[in-house]
Amino acid sequence: MDHREMNSVSCANCGKPATTKCSGCLAAPEYQPGDAPTTAYCDSQCQREQWPTHKAQCRILNKRRTLLRIAELLKTTLLAYRECVYDIPLTGVKYEEGILRLLLDPRKIPYRPWQIPFPSDLNISPQHKEAVLATNQCTTAQCLLGPLARYLLAGIKSTFKIAEVNAEPIVPWKIVWLNDSKEESRSFDCAAVTHTILLVWIGGEGWVVDITGCQFGFQEILVPLNTYFKKRVRSISRGPFAYTEHETSDLDVFDCQLALNDTDKKRLKAAHERAGRLHFAKFVKEHFDRYESTRPSEELLSGTSEEFQGKLARFESNLKAHMTSFVDFAFGKERLNWSD
């Protein structure tokens, strides 16, 4: 039971003024308008009496809430990783005429070809910061989060696939290279963009988990499938297909395409990116007991909304500390032993 301000909510069993809300399904997202009502009781006796009627709905709503928390965890994980391991010379962000402009200065490209922390001195809103961190990260997110996503989703007995869609951005963005104090715009056509999303089915409900949609102004990370396709998608580009990627899947493909005449810098940059991904994978595997037990995920995803947000913040802080240790170690070194 969850004790909250009741605002004249009635007991679901007897109709008297309620004092507690059902903690099992509280704060679950709606699939259809109005289908996630607050269920409350005047005492524990009424809750026990009404449980046979409420239990089916409670279990459905509990799965929805868990799926929402999984989506929040995946997005938080990606953004925390990117905040520590960043790879573009960003010097500023401007939001003008409905377009988010990312200002890049080629003179500030890191001397060494590895990642650096996201610039902390930028005057940027939290929403725009998320968009910048997620820019062009669809493939990275799909691979980096693959094992973690499958592990978490297995805990709610779901079916899931990946799809590439032609989406319609709410907030398009442009890359602007600064050249001798002049702006030379290299535009990115956001009328329709190829975007990767995760499709999840729990019971008879289809959902879209959109981890990197914030780069296009999509703030909701969990949306009913039909609603998402109606509002955001022009067409399916590819898929749905099985979600089998692991942390370095895209880098494996890239390495196979490297030619003998590719520069040492290009090869070294790829090696450092791989090292960062593997360093991330080590943290996540250890945190979740190498995916061999469901207990760590159940503990992280359980509790009230306040308790979950507290655990999520600690996870984010620990991940940032772990990835910062990698950047501190790698920065200024030309060679690393990736087998360590």
Contact at 8 Å (CB) between 225 and 197? no
Strand order in the sheet with 90-96: 90-96, 99-104, 173-179, 182-186
Position 59 in a domain: no
Nearest Cα to 69, choosing from 318, 312, 315?
312
- Say if 139 falls within a structural domain: yes
Least confident of 5-14, 31-40, 283-292: 5-14
Q: What pLDDT is attached to residue 340?
A: 38
pLDDT tens figures, 236-263:
999 999 999 999 999 888 666 655 555 6
68 domain residue, yes or no? yes
Residue 335 corresponds to which tokens in the numbers above?
């060679």
Q: Is the pLDDT of residue 127 over 90?
A: yes
- Evaluate whether residue 261 is within a structural domain: yes
Cβ within 8 Å of residue 222, ≥6 positions away: 29, 67, 68, 71, 207, 208, 209, 210
Residue 47 lies in a domain: no
Taking the CA atoms of 303, 309, 314 and 318 in sequence, report the sign of the dihedral they define.
positive
What does pTM read for this prediction? Answer: 0.90
Residue 129 lies in a domain: yes
pLDDT over 50 (residue 336): no
Instruction: Write out the residue range of the structural domain in which residue 150 sits.
Output: 64-330
What pLDDT is recorded for position 42?
A: 92
Other CB atoms within 10 A of residue 249 CB = 16
Q: Which helix (H) or strand (E) holds 40?
A: strand 40-41
Least confident of 48-62, 82-96, 245-259: 245-259
For the segment 192-214, the average pLDDT, to the nearest whole number, is 94
Q: Which residues contact 293 (CB under 8 A, 6 or more apart)?
A: none
Residue 29 lies in a domain: no
The answer to the question of residue 13 being in a domain is no
**Domains contained in the chain, number:** 1
Q: Which residues pair with 25 in a beta bridge?
A: none
